[in-house]
Amino acid sequence: MKDLMFFLNLAHRDRWWLRLGAALAALTLLAGIGLLSLSGWFITAAAIAGLAGAGGAFNYLFASGGVRGSALFRTLGRYGERLVTHEATFRILAELRLWVFERATPLTPSRLGRMRSGDLLARVTQDVDALDTLYLRLITPVIAALTGVVFTSALLAFTAPAALPGVLGVFIFASLILPAWAARRSTAPGQEIASQSALARAEASDLVAGLAELKAYGADQRFVDRLDRANTGWINAQRQIAGQSWLNTALLSLSAPTSFVLGFALAVSSGAAAPLAALAGLVAFGLFEAATPLIMTAELYGKTTRSARRLKALDELTPDVIEPSAPQSLPERWDIAFKAVHFTYPGSNRPVLHGVDLTLAEGDRLALVGGSGAGKSSLIKLLMRFYAPRSGALTLGGAAMERLGLEDTRSRFAVVDQRAALLSATIGDNLRLAHPEASEKELWTGLEHARAAAFVKALPNQLDTWVGEQGGLVSGGQARRIALARAFVKNAPVLLLDEPTEGLDADTEADFLDALTAWLDEDARRSMLIVTHRTALLDHARTVAVLDQGAIAATGPAHGLAGHVPEFDRLFPNQRARPR
Amino acid sequence: MPGTMNTTDLSAPNARAAEKARRVALDALLKTWGAPAALQTGLSAALGAIQYALFAGFAWGAASAVNALVTGAAIRPGLSLALLCAVLRALAQAGETRCGAEASALARRSVRREAAQALTRKSPAETERSESGQTGAALIDAVEKLDGFYGRYRPLTIVVLAGPFIIMTAAFMASYVIGLFFLITAPLLIVFMALAGAGAAAASSDQLSTLQRLAGRFNDRLQALETLNAFNAARREQAGLATASEDFRKRTMKVLTLAFLSSGIMEFFAALSVAASAIYIGFSLLGEMPFETGESPTLRTGLFVLILAPEFYMPLRRLSAAYHDRADAIAAAQALEPFFESGKDTGGTRSARRIIHAPALRFETVGSVYADGRRGLESLSFEAGAGQITALWGASGAGKSTALKVLMGYAPLSEGRIWIDGEELEGGLAGQAAWIAQRPRMFHGTLKENITLFDDSLSDAIVQTAASAAGVMDFAASLPDGLDTEIGEQGYGVSGGQVQRVALARALAADVKVLLLDEPTAHLDGETEARFLTALKSAARGRTVLIATHSPAVRALADRVIDVVIADKGCA
């Protein structure tokens, strides 16, 4: 509950919307109870008066006015409640998302990155979605129900106190005990559903992504059968829950009529007059309108609190790299040096780098090669200050990196990694990410450099073409080139490229490398660090550093390494034979 | 100018007609999928309708009890009737839900099974192009989205007709005035709802997609935080998100102001019916009715219609609450439709011929054009000797992969002929050839299961031999569980070179005589490539091997190299 309140309090600015929404929800409920019970009381009293022949003397103004008033409040209340609660929901959602985004920013990637087990960012996303319903499904129904209970209790206490315990008892049973019992019984099948659905998901993606292999070996039918078994297991687990819940549905449906009978009978047995007994029964009956949403609340409560707790934990995580409180100003030069750098990813016990010494002088072009898992990419992540070395030092322009501001450091580097993550936005917006004030001409220049201008020009909406997850208009190779263009648009003096031509065909690769060299040649101070295992890229570097088992095995020009450094020859067996 | 006018004038109704035809097609699809659960749906609807009759029974019992109290008779019979009907109604409601759930379970189960089955009749080339993640998600998530439609919405479409009819009939029996009230308000209600709903429904579905877009944007930016950090852009994006949600809220609330009118109207009629009944009955009982209605309702009939009144509008309210179930189902049907499209199947035909020995293959001016008109291969002719390694050499885009796909039956053989041991090949080799791509799929399961592809008829000895020959044992031997080690969905813990060796072991265990490899070493560094090629060389013995590649190391391994050139480039 504390965790939930924490997130409600995020919307402190909008608290009056939240309160108004809850108040309207309560008012609508009360108007409903009032309408039905007052009507019942009025009819019964009118019948008695009519029988006694005192119809003309009956003061019906109060009753008929009350009935009409309740009907009016009920209608307006419902409409207002829906509007206001939605307004409040959207406001909370906005605050919640911004809070999460702000917290997650310094924690990515060191604590929430994709590389870490279980992809915590994806879970954060799911947790935020789970909190969507916090206000609308959790808070308002509870407040409305509580108000309803208080009002009903007060009314019954004055009119037919004998009915009170019975009515409250049934209500507590229906809205608290019944859902709790259902939740308990569904725990085991719920877990079964979760594991069966995960299995079915895995089988489905195996079948889809492995279809070419499976058909080749004639194993596709076997996998369809496996998927169907998982499917049946999943559906059967759902059936089990449905099979259990019929009793709950029945008991819940029974609770309102039972409450009427109980309220009426108890009132009668205590000697209440017929109109009040009718009123007691109908008040009890009307109150149960509040019970149904509470069932949903109980179902969501556990899930939502768990999500809230996990999200709140974002507050307690500290990033791997702490920004210095008084950063030193950024040096004029951008020579880079690693000095005896040791590194282990947080949460892992396998050291990636042990004692890396490497320099990239301003204006130099360095290719970093090494077998997979040698730690090449982690060097780039250390430079970007996504992670901090466990020991040793990194310097930029002679200054220790931990003394520099994060944004300052990152402004020196333009990075293109293997994933080439594009935002789902237009091509133009993706490029402007690197340089928000860039003119259209600068964007096109970047695209030219990355050999992407031609295909972007051919798109009907050119720079306004939507790409990324929701786009799908560009291929993997094209996405890669847009990411390259983005790095050029940033116009940072040091390019950090991690397998930049992966996914490009040979022609485009050659084209791109020419452009890259041209771009570097434009300004003698521009430097480049390129991680690669492609032979074609080696020629564009002046120096090659071989990373082997977490340390630099050798440094030198490619032709100097070939035939002399076994670690290099193992990686590029054809390089030796190649004519120079 | 007039010409342009004409086309625009024509295209709008055409687009609308096309849209409508599409809706009809999707509805038909949803109907077909519901067929296996017709009985359960009907039962759910019947129970759903009966509960309104039982509710009328409850109302009559309750009204009788109050009436008895006033007249001094025993209240017990009335209360007993009320309780009995309430219990039966509760059971009917539970049954309605249960049968609905069962209908949904049956429908979803069969749709998922049929979609998976239909998928295997397609060419992998097709699923490759549409994001495979999306296709997998459709099998799981889109099918689940059908739940509300079959479980709730479909039975309700029947209940919404039967329920109010039952209540209205009961009301007529008690008081024709109240019955008439229902009879008149029902169409009025529907008209009002339609008026308020027509604009709002379109707008609200639009809003729903905006809401999803907004959530999508947030999730997208959250997932891309590392990139945003790299470009010092996180703070800017955060500001952008704030403006977007503010914008969204304002626009949405404008629409909702209209959309929620329909729920207001519904509430209005429900409240009005109670209030009108109370006032009419009350004043009649007091003898204060200003006009003559020709009937004199009693307390019992009065209370009866009073309790009954709100229930008259209940089915319609439930249906409108379940309306999004239908929208979900339409969206799901849209996602699943491609599975069931016929006619484009290019992966269905398999050669009837059994291949027992390594065959000789000959391509004779083979060309391939995909269903969407893309040309994958132009007039390729070559021979691959029996038991030899043949490399297809050339730049990407020249059609090397397509040539392999045609042979497998994954791409259409549009022109030319393929000969296998001197006989013309009909259909593809799928089912009796190995397929090793750039990144072979690692299935969730153990190493051994990845080698056998869950074929239990393969003995341990066969698997062991295949694993050794393919070089899998080189790394598997040091694993604590050996070949029984579980590997993750994407080959977690298994490196790129190891994945290729597992794929090779598959081919050896299945003992197929033809191996087709598509750029198998494109992602490997030189050392790993060399190790894989050693294993491949020994595995190739007694098999016909075709490798599409642009790696010099692979080229060096081949007995024969075929240059595949892009046809129009070659001509020019």
**Residues of A with CB below 8 A from B174's CB?**
none
Q: Is the pLDDT reported for residue A345 higher than 90? A: no
Q: Would you list the domain boundaries of chain B?
A: 21-174+325-343, 176-296, 361-571
Q: Does B306 touch chain A (CB under 8 A)?
A: yes
Q: Does B277 touch chain A (CB under 8 A)?
A: yes
Nearest by CB to residue B285, choosing from A43, A68, A247, is A43
Q: What gap in Å lies between CA B412 and CA B435, rounded to an integer? A: 17
Nearest to B516 by CA among B421, B417, B385, B405: B405
Q: Is the pLDDT reported for residue A375 higher than 70? A: yes
Q: Which ranges constitute the DSSP H helices of A210-219?
A: 211-216
Angle (CA) A139-A175-B156 rounded to 5° is 90
pLDDT (mean) for A344-369: 83
Cβ-contact A98, B244 below 8 angstroms: no
**Residues of A with CB below 8 A from B232's CB?**
407, 410-411
**Three-state secondary structure call for residue A393:** strand
Q: Cβ neighbours of residue A289 under 8 Å, at least 6 residues apart?
A: A29, A32, A33
CATH assignment of A2-315, among 1.10.1270.20, 1.25.40.10, 1.10.10.10, 1.20.1560.10? 1.20.1560.10
Between strands A399-400 and A391-396, the pairing is: antiparallel
Cβ-contact A314, A324 below 8 angstroms: no
Nearest CA of chain B to the CA of A403: how many Å? 18
Between strands B433-436 and B514-518, the pairing is: parallel
Identify whether A557 is preceded by a cis peptide bond (ω within 30 of 0).
Answer: no
Looking at chain A, the domain(s) classified CATH 1.20.1560.10 span: 2-315
Nearest by CB to residue B66, choosing from A49, A208, A274, is A274
Query: Rounded to whole angstroms, what are the CA distances from A310 to A25, A130, A314, A525?
Result: 30, 11, 7, 47
Looking at chain A, the domain(s) classified CATH 3.40.50.300 span: 336-571
pLDDT digits (tens, 9 = 90+) for A511-538: 778 878 888 888 888 899 988 877 777 7
Q: Cβ neighbours of residue A54 under 8 Å, at least 6 residues apart?
A: none
The DSSP line for A317-334 is ---SSPPPSSPBPPPS--
Q: Given its phi and psi angles, is residue B415 left (phi above 0), alpha (psi -120 to 50 degrees) or beta? A: beta
pLDDT at residue B212, as a whole number: 63
Nearest to A546 by CA among A526, A566, A563, A528: A566
Q: What gap in Å lies between CA B487 and CA A202, rounded to an integer? A: 12
pLDDT (mean) for A468-488: 68
Residue A580's pLDDT band (boundaries 50, 70, 90)? Answer: very low
DSSP H or E segment with residue A402: none
Cβ-contact A498, A468 below 8 angstroms: no
The DSSP line for A25-59 is HHHHHHHHHHHHHHHHHHHHHHHHHHHTT-GGG--
**Residues of A with CB below 8 A from B233's CB?**
433-434, 436
Cβ-contact B326, B153 below 8 angstroms: yes
pLDDT digits (tens, 9 = 90+) for A95-132: 888 888 888 888 777 777 544 444 566 677 777 877 87
Which residue carries 């698997």 as its tokens? B463
| Cβ atoms within 10 Å, residue A539 | 12
Contact B218 A97 (CB under 8 A): yes
Q: Does B217 touch chain A (CB under 8 A)?
A: yes
Q: What gap in Å lies between CA B351 and CA B369, rounded to an integer? A: 20
Residue A418's pLDDT band (boundaries 50, 70, 90)? Answer: low
Token pair for A461: 């909406």
Nearest CA of chain B to the CA of A439: how many Å? 17
Nearest CA of chain B to the CA of A570: how many Å? 5
Q: Is the pLDDT reported for residue A377 higher than 60? A: yes
Q: Which ranges constitute the DSSP H helices of B35-153?
A: 38-71, 76-120, 124-129, 132-137, 143-144, 147-148
Q: Cβ neighbours of residue A381 under 8 Å, at least 6 residues apart?
A: A109, A387
Q: What gap in Å lies between CA A360 and CA B257, rounded to an integer? A: 62
Contact A260 B62 (CB under 8 A): yes
Token pair for A8: 């409600």
Task: Determine the residue type at B344.
Answer: K
Contact A82 B526 (CB under 8 A): no
Per-residue tens of pLDDT for chain B, all 572 residues: 333 333 334 455 677 788 788 888 888 999 999 999 999 999 999 999 999 999 999 999 999 999 999 888 888 999 999 999 999 999 999 999 999 999 999 999 999 999 999 888 887 766 655 555 567 778 888 898 899 899 999 999 899 889 999 999 999 999 898 999 899 888 887 777 676 555 555 555 555 556 666 677 777 787 778 788 888 888 888 888 888 888 878 877 877 787 778 778 888 888 998 999 998 998 888 887 777 777 888 899 999 999 998 888 888 888 877 777 888 888 888 888 888 876 544 545 666 677 888 888 999 888 888 776 777 788 888 888 888 899 988 766 677 888 888 888 888 888 888 988 888 888 788 888 889 887 788 888 888 888 998 988 888 899 998 988 888 888 888 777 788 888 764 444 677 778 888 888 998 888 888 999 988 887 777 778 888 888 888 888 889 999 988 788 888 888 988 888 765 433 32
Q: Residues A396-409, buried b or exposed e (16+ Cβ, 10 A)?
A: bbebebbebbbebb
DSSP H or E segment with residue B20: helix B2-34
pLDDT at residue A531, as a whole number: 87
Task: Determine the residue type at A482.
Answer: I
Q: Does B118 touch chain A (CB under 8 A)?
A: no
CATH assignment of B21-174+325-343, among 1.10.4080.10, 1.20.1560.10, 3.30.930.10, 1.10.10.10? 1.20.1560.10
pLDDT digits (tens, 9 = 90+) for B91-130: 999 999 999 999 999 999 999 999 999 888 887 766 655 5
Nearest to B47 by CA among B166, B148, B145, B183: B166
For chain B positions 517-556, those within 8 Å of chain A (CB to CB) are 523, 525-530, 550, 552-553
| Cβ atoms within 10 Å, residue B124 | 30
Residue in chain B lying closest to A258 (CA): B83
Cβ-contact B307, B270 below 8 angstroms: no
pLDDT at residue A118, as a whole number: 42
pLDDT at residue A20, as a whole number: 93
The whole-angstrom distance between residue A340's C-alpha and the CA centroid of its chain comes to 38
**Residues of A with CB below 8 A from B238's CB?**
98, 101-102, 105
Q: What gap in Å lies between CA A330 and CA A401, rounded to an integer? A: 10
**Three-state secondary structure call for residue A343:** strand
Between strands B486-487 and B445-446, the pairing is: antiparallel
Q: Which fold has domain A336-571?
A: Rossmann fold (3.40.50)
Q: Does A268 touch chain B (CB under 8 A)?
A: yes
The per-residue pLDDT of chain A, averaged, comes to 82
Contact A125 B222 (CB under 8 A): yes
β-bridge mates for residue B547, sequence order: B391, B517
Q: What gap in Å lies between CA B229 and CA A120, rounded to an integer? A: 17
pLDDT at residue A55, as a whole number: 66
Q: What gap in Å lies between CA B62 and CA B167, rounded to an integer? A: 16
Q: What gap in Å lies between CA B98 and CA B95, rounded to an integer? A: 5
**Three-state secondary structure call for residue B521:** coil
Q: What gap in Å lies between CA A150 and CA A283, rounded to an integer? A: 12
pLDDT at residue A474, as a whole number: 59
For chain B positions 224-263, those within 8 Å of chain A (CB to CB) are 224-238, 241-242, 245-246, 248-249, 252-253, 256-257, 260-261, 263
- Sequence length of chain B is 572
**Three-state secondary structure call for residue A214:** helix
Rg (CA), chain B: 35
pLDDT at residue A373, as a whole number: 66
Q: What gap in Å lies between CA A208 and CA A213, rounded to an integer? A: 10
**Three-state secondary structure call for residue A511:** helix
For chain A positions 467-496, those within 8 Å of chain B (CB to CB) are 468-470, 472, 486, 490
Q: Does A52 touch chain B (CB under 8 A)?
A: no
pLDDT digits (tens, 9 = 90+) for A140-185: 888 999 999 999 999 899 888 888 999 999 999 988 888 888 878 7
**Residues of A with CB below 8 A from B354's CB?**
none
Q: What gap in Å lies between CA B399 and CA B167, rounded to an integer? A: 70
β-bridge mates for residue B435, sequence order: B516
C-alpha atoms less than 13 angstroms from C-alpha of B142 in its C-beta half-sphere: 23
Q: What gap in Å lies between CA B260 and CA B270, rounded to an integer? A: 16
The DSSP line for A98-149 is HHHHHHHHHHTTTTT-TTSTT-HHHHHHHHHHHGGGIIIIIIHHHHHHHHHH
**Residues of A with CB below 8 A from B109's CB?**
231-232, 235
Q: Of A284-288, A553-557, A568-572, B324-328, which one has max mean pLDDT?
A: A284-288
Q: How is residue A414 annotated by DSSP?
A: E
Cβ-contact B322, B153 below 8 angstroms: yes
pLDDT at residue B47, as a whole number: 95
**Residues of B with CB below 8 A from A100's CB?**
222
Count CB pairs under 8 A between chains A and B.
421
pLDDT (mean) for A198-226: 87
CATH architecture of B361-571: 3-Layer(aba) Sandwich (3.40)
